[in-house]
Amino acid sequence: MVTNVDTGKILIKKMKRADTFWRRFLGLLPEKSLPADEGLLLTPCRSVHTFFMRFEIDVIYLDNMGRVLAAFSHVKPWRILPFVKGVEEVLETASGTVNRTETKPGNYLNWVDETRSTCHPPGGHGI
């Protein structure tokens, strides 16, 4: 589960990881849609494009602490998103997630998985 620490809202309940060259290369290309409660974390990743995609997505650029550096809503297929300094990971979610969760630059996202401990803002209370 991925939550926005600042708004307290849940972005997604299930996160898949694309942490190898081939997983990042394929990304969401094989998918016909993305369920509203799922997302894909591309790591490491500095920027993305939506060439060959079949549906709109929301894209969230993150630094290595889970801080949102940029958030793009309703990104249509065949788009190139801009380079943003400091991006280490990119979270792709269903279109509308950014607006629904009021996610914006400066917010922190929080999740736990087997390869990464909980993300917290500097000075936050960790587990």
Residue 80 maps to which CATH number?
2.60.120.1140
Asked, for residue 83, whether it belongs to a domain, the answer is: yes
Q: Express as a percent the part of the chain with pLDDT over 70.
A: 88
Asked, for residue 122, whether it belongs to a domain, the answer is: no
Put simply, whether the predicted model's pTM sits higher than 0.85 gets the answer: yes
Give the count of alpha carbons within 13 A of 99, CB side only: 7
User: Total structural domains in the chain?
Assistant: 1
Asked, for residue 120, whether it belongs to a domain, the answer is: no
Confidence tier at 113 by pLDDT (50, 70, 90): low
DSSP 81-117: PPP-TT--EEEEEETTHHHHTT--TT-BEE--BTTB-
Confidence check: pLDDT of 96 > 50: yes
Confidence check: pLDDT of 70 > 80: yes
Residue 97: C-alpha distances to residues 15, 41, 81 (Å)? 14, 14, 17
Please give the pLDDT value at position 124.
43
Asked, for residue 95, whether it belongs to a domain, the answer is: yes
58 vs 122, residue with greater confidence: 58
Please give the pLDDT value at position 122.
47
Tally Cβ neighbours within 10 Å of residue 87.
20
Asked, for residue 22, whether it belongs to a domain, the answer is: yes
Please give the pLDDT value at position 10.
96
Choice among 9-18, 47-56, 76-85, 111-120 with the minimum mean pLDDT: 111-120
- Which domain covers residue 65, as residue numbers? 2-110
- DSSP 3-state assignment of 36? coil
